[in-house]
Amino acid sequence: MLTALLLLLLTLPITGCWDRREMNELGIALGMGIDRVDDKYVVTVQVVKPGQVAEQKGATGAESPVVMYKSEGPTIYEAIRKMTTASPRKIYAAHLRVLLFGEALARQGIGNALDLLSRDYELRTDFYLLIARGATAQEALNVLTPLEKTPPNKLFRSIETSEKAWAPVVSISLDDFVNDIVSKGKNPIISGIRIVNPDEVGASTKNLNTIRPKVMLENDGIAVFRKDRLIGWMSEEESKGYNYITNNVHSTVGHISCPGGGKLALEVVDAHSKIGGKMVSGRPYLSVDVTVEQSVGEVECRIDLTKISTIQELEKRAENSLTRIIRHAIDAGQKKFKSDYFGFGNAIHRGHPKMWKQLQKDWDERFEDALVDVNVQIKIIRTGTITNSFMEEEE
Amino acid sequence: MAENGKISGLQLMVLTFLYTIGTTVLVIPAGLAATAKQDAWLGAIAGVLIGTVVIGLYMGLLTVYPGLSFVNICRSALGKWVGTALGVIYMCYAFIGASTVLFYVGNFFKTQFIPHTPLWCTIMLFAVVVAMGARLGLETIARASELMLPWFLMLFVLLVLTLVPAAKSANVLPVFEVGWKPIFSAGLSFAGTAYMPMVFLFSVLPHVKAPEKTKIGMYVSALLGGVCVILVTLFCILILGPNITGRSMYPSYALVKKINIGNFLQRVEAILAGLWFITTYVKTTFYYYAGVRSLSEILGLKQYKVVTLPCAMAVVVFSLVVYPDVVYMQYWDSIIFPPYIILLGVVIPLLLWIIGLAKQNSQQEPSTSTQNQLDKGS
C-alpha cells in the first residue's frame, strides 16, 4: 500500500514543470525583422495564426494567415519582450525560418544584433539571414504571396529552391555568418531580397486575389560585408561568379554564343571548385579550379550537334565564358569592394599555415594586388532528348 | 560497510565506459577548441593517451594493494592517522565532484530547456535517483548501466550517422597548426575530466570478481569511451568549426541541433540529450558512491547505507552553492581544477604506489616478516 502511494507520488513531477507551455500559449514566430531607427532597434515579428494556416475545406482565405507585431527598444531582447503588451501569446522563436535585416541597419553593422540570436536558448541555427534590399525589414515581411501561405515560409522556401537551381543565389545561416566574421581570411556575405512594386499594398490578402499579385518578393543579389557592415551589392553576374568560386553551384543555366551567331543555353548538371593560394616572391598567388559538367539545354542557332568537333568547340566557348564570369567576380572583389569574401585567405591558411601568420593582419590589402589563376574545365556530355534542333531542316 | 554484491568484469567495463564519457562529452569539446582551435581532436587523442598512462598507474596501484578501497590503501601506506586524513580529503573531493556534476545537470537544463524552473527542482529529481542507486548497492548500479548501455550505443550510432552528411572537411585544416603545447594542455584537461576522477573506481574495484582479469578490460573500455569523446569533438570541429565550438556552453548539444536529414529527420536534440543523461548519471553515482563508501570506512560504520540519504541532502544543498555563477564555473574548471585533479589523481596515487612497492620489496626479505605484520596491522 505504501509502495503504491509512493509510486503515485512519483507521477507528480511528470505532470510538467515551471516551463510548460501549451500549444495555445505559444505565438510561433516564423519571421523576424530587425531595423534601426535613431538609437533604437525596431523589431518586427511575424506570428502564424494556426487556424488560418491549417488546410481547411472551403476556406476563403479572407483573413491574413499571419499577424505581425512591431515594437521598439534599446536592445532587441527588450523589444521582443515588449511585444507581450500587444500580443496575447509570448513569442516562441524555435521555429524561426528567416531573419531579415533592413539595408540601413546592415550598413551600420549587424554584429551586435546577432548576439541575442546565438545566445538565446530557444533559437536554433537553421534559419536563413537575409537583407531587405533598399527597404526596411518590416516592409519586406509585409508582403503576402501565393503558394506559401506565410511570407517567412515563402522566403525560406524560395531561397532554398533557388540556391539549388540558379547559380547567383546563396543561403547563409547564422553559423556561416558568425564563422565568416571571426575568420580573418573571409568576409561575410548575405543574400538580398527585393520588393517588387514596393509602392503598392502587399500586406492584405487582396494582394493574392489577382493572378499576378502586384507586390512580390524576389531574391536579388548578394550583399558584401566588411566585418559586419554592408558595403555593397554584387551584380547578378558577380554573384554567379562568387558561387562558382565558393563551390556553391548545384545546378543552373547559362548561355554561350554559337560560332555562327545566335545563342545556346547550357544546363549545369554538376559543378565543383577548389580554391587555393600561396606566396610567390612576396605576392599572393591565388588559384581557382572549376570543373563543370553540362548538357545542352536550348539551341537557338544553326549548329550541327552530331559532330564531335562541335561539342569540343562548345566546351571551349563555355570555358571561356565561365572564366570571364569568374575573373569578373574576382575583379569586383579586388577592385570594387576591396574585400576577400571568397575565402582565399582561409584557403592559404589551410594550405600554408606558417605563411598565413604573416599575411593575416593586412590580408584585405594584400588580396587587392593578388594574382589569380583561373582554370575552368567543362565537359558537355548530353544534348537532351534530341540531337539537332528541328530548325536545322529549314536551311 | 557491508556490500554483499559482487560485479563481474564485464559490468565493470560498462561502468568504466560510461564513466569515461560522463560529463566529458558535453562540456570538454569547448575547452579543447578554445585551447587547440581546429586541432581540438588531436588534443582529445592526446588526452586519451595521457589517460591510458593514468589508468596504468591505477592498475599498478591495484596490483600493489589488491582488494583494498582507496581509504584502506591510504591507511595501509601511511598508517592509521595520516592515511585517514588523506582519506578524508578524497572523500571531500568525491562529494564536491558529485555536487559539481549535479550542478552541471541542473545548469544544462536551465540553460537549454527550462529556464524558469528552479535549479533545486531539477537537481533534486536527479539526486533522488543517484541516492537510490547508491542505496540499492553496486549490483543494482551495475545492472542498471548494463541496461542503459544499448540505449546509449543506439543514440550514439544515430548521432554519428546523422552528422556525417553535414561534416565539412575543410574545417580541420590546417592540421597541427597550434603545435605541441596547446595540444598537450588540451589533452591534460581532457584526461583531468575523463580519466583522473577514475581514482574513485577504487571504491568499486574490491567488489569485482577476479579483479586481475579485468585490467585489460579497464584499458579497453576507457579507450572506447575516449574514442567516443574524440569522435564527438571531431564532429564539433567538422560541423560547427573551432570558433563556434570554443564559444559554446554545450558544444555537443549545439552540434546535435544541426542534424537534418532531408528536412525530415531534424530537431531531435532533445532525444539525443538522453545520451548525456545516461553517462552523467553513471558519473554522478560514482562520485557519490565513492563519497559515502569512504565516509563509512573512515567512520568505521557497519552499514554504509545509513549515510546515503543524509549525504544526498548535503550534496543537493552543496550543489546549489558550489558554483556561484557560470563564469566562476568556467574559471574553476579551467584554472583551478587541472592542478587540483593532477595532485589528487596522479601525484598522490603515484606516491602511494611507490610506498607500496617499497613495502613489497622489504616484505620479500624474510628477516623483516614481523615488521610486515606490524605494517599490516596498522
Grouping H, G, I as helix, E, B as strand and the rest as coil, residue A29 is strand
List domains and CATH numbers for chain A: 26-233 (no CATH), 237-394 (3.30.300.210)
The better pLDDT of the pair B214, B86 is held by B86
pLDDT at B245 exceeding the cut of 50: yes
pLDDT at A202 exceeding the cut of 60: yes
| Contact between B76 and B376 (Cβ < 8 Å) | yes
List domains and CATH numbers for chain B: 9-47+89-350 (1.20.1740.10)
pLDDT level of residue A316 (50, 70, 90 thresholds): very high
Within 8 A of A126 by CB-CB distance, chain B residues are 257-258, 260, 266
Q: Are strands A98-102 and A283-300 parallel, antiparallel or unpaired?
A: unpaired
Give the residue from chain A lying closest to B250, CA to CA.
A121
- Per the document, the length of chain A is 395
B→A interface, C-beta within 8 Å: 111-118, 121, 125, 170, 173-174, 177, 240-241, 243-244, 254, 257-258, 260, 266-267
CA distance A348 to A366: 12
Within 8 A of A90 by CB-CB distance, chain B residues are none
Determine, for residues A126 and B257 on separate chains, whether the beta-carbon distance falls below 8 Å. Answer: yes
pLDDT level of residue A303 (50, 70, 90 thresholds): confident
Amino acid at A260: G
Give the residue from chain A lying closest to B239, CA to CA.
A175
The better pLDDT of the pair B307, A54 is held by B307
CA A289, A293, A295, A298 dihedral sign is negative
Determine, for residues A126 and B115 on separate chains, whether the beta-carbon distance falls below 8 Å. Answer: no
Closest in B117, B173, B177 to A17, CB measured = B117
Q: What is the mean pLDDT of residues A235-257?
A: 90
Q: For residue B376, what pLDDT is reported? A: 45
Q: For residue B207, what pLDDT is reported? A: 84
Closest in A19, A350, A353 to B117, CB measured = A19
The better pLDDT of the pair B344, A147 is held by B344
Closest in B113, B115, B257 to A125, CB measured = B257
Q: What is the b/e burial string over B240-274, where b = at least 16 CB atoms within 10 angstroms of the residue's CB?
A: bbbbbbbbbbbbbbbbbbbbbeeeeeeebbeebbe
Determine, for residues B170 and A350 on separate chains, whether the beta-carbon distance falls below 8 Å. Answer: yes
Within 8 A of A182 by CB-CB distance, chain B residues are 243
pLDDT at B374 exceeding the cut of 70: no
- Backbone dihedral angles phi then psi of residue A306, each to the nearest 5 degrees: -85, -10
Give the residue from chain B lying closest to A18, CA to CA.
B117
Q: What is the mean pLDDT of residues B358-375?
A: 60
pLDDT at B78 exceeding the cut of 90: no
pLDDT at A25 exceeding the cut of 90: no
Give me the total of CB pairs closer than 8 Å, taking one residue from chain A and one from chain B. Answer: 48
Grouping H, G, I as helix, E, B as strand and the rest as coil, residue A37 is strand
ipTM for the predicted complex: 0.77
pLDDT at B98 exceeding the cut of 80: yes
Q: What is the mean pLDDT of residues B305-328?
A: 90
CA distance B195 to B192: 6
Grouping H, G, I as helix, E, B as strand and the rest as coil, residue A21 is coil
Question: Which of the listed ranges A21-35, A81-95, A212-226, B282-296 does the model predict with the highest average pLDDT?
Answer: B282-296
Only one residue has cell 538609437, namely A39
Three-state helix/strand/coil letters over A88-120:
CCEEECCCCCEEEEEHHHHHHCCHHHHHHHHHC
Beta partners for A255?
A265
Give the residue from chain A lying closest to B240, CA to CA.
A175
Only one residue has cell 570594387, namely A336
CA distance A359 to A361: 6
What value does the CA radius of gyration of chain B take, rounded to a whole number of Å?
A: 21
Q: For residue A155, what pLDDT is reported? A: 85
The better pLDDT of the pair B263, A35 is held by A35
pLDDT at B5 exceeding the cut of 80: no
Q: How far is A361 from chain B (nearest CA, A)?
A: 17
- Backbone dihedral angles phi then psi of residue A376, each to the nearest 5 degrees: -115, 135
Q: What is the mean pLDDT of residues B256-273?
A: 78
Q: What is the mean pLDDT of residues B171-188?
A: 84
- Which of A3, A7, A19, A171 has the highest number of chain B CBs within 10 A, making it the mutation to test binding with B? A19
Within 8 A of B173 by CB-CB distance, chain A residues are 349-351
B66 prior amide bond cis, ω within 30: no
The better pLDDT of the pair B263, A250 is held by A250
Q: How far is A248 from chain B (nearest CA, A)?
A: 13
pLDDT level of residue B368 (50, 70, 90 thresholds): very low
Q: What is the pTM of this model?
A: 0.83
pLDDT level of residue A140 (50, 70, 90 thresholds): confident
Q: For residue A329, what pLDDT is reported? A: 92
pLDDT at A393 exceeding the cut of 70: no
Determine, for residues B117 and A125 on separate chains, whether the beta-carbon distance falls below 8 Å. Answer: no
Average model confidence (pLDDT) for chain A?
Answer: 85
